[in-house]
Amino acid sequence: MEIIFLRKNKVKLILLLVLLCGSSSACKTKTEKNSLNNYSLDTNQSRIKQEFPIKKSAEQWKKVLTEQQYYVLREQGTERAFTGKYDGHKEKGIYYCAGCGQKLFSSKHKFDSGSGWPSYYQPVEKDLVGKTTDNSLGMIRTEVHCSKCGGHLGHIFPDGPKPTGLRYCINSISLTFKQEK
């Protein structure tokens, strides 16, 4: 009975968000419309049209990724909040793409957002992480992906700390970590 109740409420919430966000411009915040320290949320790029340096078939990716990694990195899935190994992770070092090994985020830019996913206010270098518009689930969000292999990392939101004001909300499963020596 509880499951049915939760499903109905989730559907109602999604429908409400769709109604409230009838047009993309109505849902974009001021931060999304304007550039913010070279880490703008604004993007009109389509993931489908993008070309990435690393090209593999689904079968090739399935050979090198776990089932969960494949779901998140290649199918744009999301791990459940507060379940990822890097959410409360405090070690100093660098976070890399679990798909191709590209350097992505530094522990120096990590902060506790309370969201249940590891959060960073910027990548190590802005060109290492690509952005695309994500219109799924009746919401308009900015998806972030590895610029080398196109692997889905998470989403970016305009509610992070200074200096960027952004929160890169990243799935732990899409990352690997190497500790600083």
Residues paired with residue 179 on neighbouring β-strands, in sequence order: 93
List for the chain the helix, strand, coil content (%; round to 5).
Answer: 30, 20, 45
Residue 10: count of CB within 10 angstroms of its CB: 11
- CA angle 128–64–123, rounded 5-degree value: 15
Tokens of 119: 């959060």
DSSP class of residue 79? P
Q: How far is the C-alpha of 26 from the C-alpha of 29, rounded, in Å?
A: 8
Q: Which amino acid makes up residue 46?
A: S
Q: Which residues of 69-102 are buried (b: 16+ CB within 10 A; e: fewer)?
A: bbbbbbebebbeeeebebbeeeeebbbbbbbbeb
- Pick the catalytic residue from 97, 100, 149, 169: 169
Are 156 and 170 in contact by the 8 Å Cβ rule? The answer is no
Respond yes or no: is residue 169 known to be catalytic.
Answer: yes
Question: Catalytic residues, which ones?
Answer: 169
